[in-house]
Structure 1
């Protein structure tokens, strides 16, 4: 069958398995290697209910993404969805929150985690120059691979996802034999505040699925691929998280606090000895590499889509004549990630991330509601079950989480949005 092209000049090559694995790869990142201890210390054996609670909140948001993603099939993911519903100005703000406030800073942080993980085994990676060379090689490889095509980019994501899941599945399979029933017993529920604080951490452990939707202009049959890929990927993530938490809690029990920085490594060491901890350390580095590779594949499409709408520099609209990929957007984004990875002084800006992703989710849910009202009865696209209940659950969860943010997170986000608004109106005047 011939490969279909969008009117943007991109090839539709990503199917359900590719999207599902990209979502699993994007969500299961560096955090999972410490998450079981964070949750276990706070909630004990009650932690499993925390995962269920957060999965309900995320399911409501993911279903809204599945619905709007089956309707809006151009590149850009969250940006394209908001632009279709509310126009250029809100979409411009969302694009900046997404590509800079969430992705550039997040990927730069992950690149440093890769170097730190390798430095624990090979101290040479503590040298700033060696770290810079490592960043250049890894990011350059990811950019070049994705310039050759989304098929190659999603192929790398699939491979890395499988590689990083194997050690985690090994812990689940072989760790169950060492689980002690007494460690899974709980006598009373935690306080509401403790549960709320932990749920906030858990929520962000599930975030990241939306990055994979940046290649929305390259999905095969998006009406089917988007809802099925999101649902399948979300289910896999939930199952892996809950099984890892159960095994870690069951094996370590009250000793969890002694291994709060690397609980999975402690379980792996109990299963296969000291080599287990080393394997998990390398897995953490591979996991971070996988998340960044998915980001480098997907986020440049938001720059490309914004440039097509005249909101970013025109050169970002260029499509490679041979590979039909937004090659200049890929190179530009990779360069930004490299610069912030090397700079190291960006960490104070990372407070933007939490508020940024919540505002993006809120905007997409509202866009889903608006486009649902405009949908023709004859259109055959996915519709989230539950009517307005599903998006309202998502909105309630986001408002609750926004109220839990620190004043610095809120203030930095307000300042960032104000600067973006000024940029938007100055750019419009400049064009005129």
Structure 2
């Protein structure tokens, strides 16, 4: 196993992210475009019992983030979950986790980037389709890439501003809409089947996912033993409460019309605030996705940096800018990949595959948290310890298994193919990595 204590590229990164900056990053990449669309999907699956899916997701994520909090307080390397799993189980399993991490971030970022282009096109028809769409995506991804190359502080500051901007219309809908909710629209008619709840919850994971990408810049976080667990718990409690409140207000305002509606929150805002409210939510959706793209542009390229640093991908990806001290090659490479996927792929398929990869990655990280505690790995300072640490990781795994029970055979086949290709890449690069080992 490689030495995780010294490294030329790693040591040159600046530790500038604190509790509030990291928490804002988690909220920013978690509250993306999904919450503006997924309430209608949950209602289609479960009707008025849809809040059950949010509760299942919240319970599962609560168990999972406890494991992330402990693992993140014990490992301070860039790569987040990739680094946690590698330190716990060695380079091969760590590499597979790193590939899953990058796949999750890339698919999710590409899906939301495509939705962002659609949303902007709905507001400004001149930017719909063709060359205008390409120019829009290149401009947005290029701008965010340039900001993040300029420095981690600049990227974090933009994320904090975007987080505040995206939350305002959502909070306004909840505050104003709660007074117009019709109680009858919230009444349950039938108890949903367990399989339906699992499928709806697995789909809603897209709205809860993001923590795994927000933690990738661990090598640029101050005092990880204190910062990571506090930021995770602060962000996830707020996100869960907001999601449940949003769905209940939308369901209470729209009733049966919520199921299948393409713009459910904008329609709900229109019911209570008129055309101005509807436009405000449409603009809010665009801002939210714009902020998500910014947050993920900060986080996802660090996975490429980590894979390049370790010799699995070209080492040029681990280059650090001589002046800004940021992984500039990885940032620009990731931007090009996302633009290509956003221009050629659809949201739904990308979201489903991202969810499957996310759940597999979460399972690996839960096991890693248990193993890191068993090995007493410490990054400096006193690590956070999960209450009931011997049991919580396995409860989290049980919750993940329940969500995975709804995944189709075709979706499993796609995930399996990705892991097989990753394993081949690992062994093909073995000799090159031995001849030129990564210095970390």
Give 3-state SS (helix, strand or coil) of 2:147's partner: helix
Partners of 1:25 and 1:228 in 2: how far apart?
A: 16
Tell me the CA shift for residue 181 of structure 1: 2.2
Tell me the CA shift for residue 128 of structure 1: 1.6
Which residue number corresponds to residue 219 of structure 1?
221
Partners of 2:106 and 2:53 in 1: how far apart?
A: 29
- The answer to whether the Cα contact below 8 Å between 2:198 and 2:405 also exists between their aligned partners in 1 is no
Q: For residues 362-394 of structure 1, what are the alpha-carbon distances to aligned partners after superposition, in whole Å with 9 as ceiling and x for unaligned?
A: 111111111110117996110111222211111
Partners of 1:272 and 1:386 in 2: how far apart?
A: 47
Q: Where do 5+ consecutive residues of structure 2 fail to align?
A: 1-7, 436-440
Q: Is 2:13 aligned against 1:10?
A: yes
- The answer to whether the Cα contact below 8 Å between 2:21 and 2:160 also exists between their aligned partners in 1 is yes
Tell me the CA shift for residue 310 of structure 1: 2.2
- The answer to whether the Cα contact below 8 Å between 1:269 and 1:277 also exists between their aligned partners in 2 is yes
Partners of 1:187 and 1:357 in 2: how far apart?
A: 32
Give 3-state SS (helix, strand or coil) of 2:424's partner: helix
Q: For structure 1, which segment, 311-320 or 361-370, has the greater mean C-alpha deviation from structure 2 after superposition?
A: 311-320
1:185 alignment partner, one of 173, 184, 187: 187
Q: For structure 1, which segment, 107-116 or 40-49, has the greater mean C-alpha deviation from structure 2 after superposition?
A: 40-49
Which residue number corresponds to residue 290 of structure 2?
289
1:255 alignment partner, one of 254, 257, 261: 257
Tell me the CA shift for residue 240 of structure 1: 0.6
Give 3-state SS (helix, strand or coil) of 1:11's partner: coil
Partners of 2:128 and 2:377 in 1: how far apart?
A: 58
Tell me the CA shift for residue 349 of structure 1: 6.6
* Cα distance change of structure 1 residues 351 and 175 upon mapping to structure 2, 3 Å threshold: closer
Tell me the CA shift for residue 396 of structure 1: 0.7
Partners of 2:286 and 2:347 in 1: how far apart?
A: 21
* Cα distance change of structure 1 residues 349 and 178 upon mapping to structure 2, 3 Å threshold: closer
Which residue number corresponds to residue 373 of structure 1?
374
Which residue number corresponds to residue 22 of structure 1?
25
Q: Where do 5+ consecutive residues of structure 1 fail to align?
A: none
Partners of 2:409 and 2:418 in 1: how far apart?
A: 14
- The answer to whether the Cα contact below 8 Å between 1:168 and 1:244 also exists between their aligned partners in 2 is yes
Q: Is 2:242 aligned against 1:240?
A: yes
Give 3-state SS (helix, strand or coil) of 1:75's partner: coil
Which residue number corresponds to residue 52 of structure 2?
49
Partners of 2:388 and 2:428 in 1: how far apart?
A: 43
Partners of 2:324 and 2:90 in 1: how far apart?
A: 30
* Cα distance change of structure 1 residues 347 and 28 upon mapping to structure 2, 3 Å threshold: closer
- The answer to whether the Cα contact below 8 Å between 2:166 and 2:288 also exists between their aligned partners in 1 is yes
- The answer to whether the Cα contact below 8 Å between 2:301 and 2:331 also exists between their aligned partners in 1 is yes
- The answer to whether the Cα contact below 8 Å between 1:340 and 1:346 also exists between their aligned partners in 2 is no
1:169 alignment partner, one of 146, 171, 192: 171
- The answer to whether the Cα contact below 8 Å between 2:199 and 2:407 also exists between their aligned partners in 1 is no
Which residue number corresponds to residue 67 of structure 2?
64
Q: For residues 69-116 of structure 1, what are the alpha-carbon distances to aligned partners after superposition, in whole Å with 9 as ceiling and x for unaligned?
A: 0000111111111111122211222222221x2222222222211111
Question: Matched residue pairs, number?
Answer: 426
- The answer to whether the Cα contact below 8 Å between 2:177 and 2:272 also exists between their aligned partners in 1 is yes
Tell me the CA shift for residue 253 of structure 1: 2.1
Coordinate RMSD, CA, aligned: 2.2
Tell me the CA shift for residue 192 of structure 1: 2.6
Which residue number corresponds to residue 201 of structure 1?
203
- The answer to whether the Cα contact below 8 Å between 2:21 and 2:156 also exists between their aligned partners in 1 is yes
**Normalised by the size of structure 1, how large is the TM-score?**
0.93
Tell me the CA shift for residue 120 of structure 1: 1.5
Which residue number corresponds to residue 305 of structure 1?
306
Partners of 2:26 and 2:158 in 1: how far apart?
A: 13
Which residue number corresponds to residue 356 of structure 2?
355
Q: For structure 1, which segment, 74-83 or 259-268, has the greater mean C-alpha deviation from structure 2 after superposition?
A: 259-268
Partners of 1:410 and 1:53 in 2: how far apart?
A: 22
Partners of 1:203 and 1:120 in 2: how far apart?
A: 26
- The answer to whether the Cα contact below 8 Å between 1:21 and 1:157 also exists between their aligned partners in 2 is yes
Partners of 1:299 and 1:34 in 2: how far apart?
A: 23
Q: For structure 1, which segment, 245-254 or 161-170, has the greater mean C-alpha deviation from structure 2 after superposition?
A: 245-254
Partners of 2:346 and 2:47 in 1: how far apart?
A: 36
Tell me the CA shift for residue 353 of structure 1: 2.0
Q: Is 2:77 aligned against 1:77?
A: no
**Normalised by the size of structure 2, how large is the TM-score?**
0.91
Give 3-state SS (helix, strand or coil) of 2:429's partner: helix
* Cα distance change of structure 1 residues 31 and 346 upon mapping to structure 2, 3 Å threshold: closer
Tell me the CA shift for residue 212 of structure 1: 0.5
Tell me the CA shift for residue 163 of structure 1: 0.7
Tell me the CA shift for residue 49 of structure 1: 3.5
Q: For residues 148-171 of structure 1, what are the alpha-carbon distances to aligned partners after superposition, in whole Å with 9 as ceiling and x for unaligned?
A: 111111111111111111000000
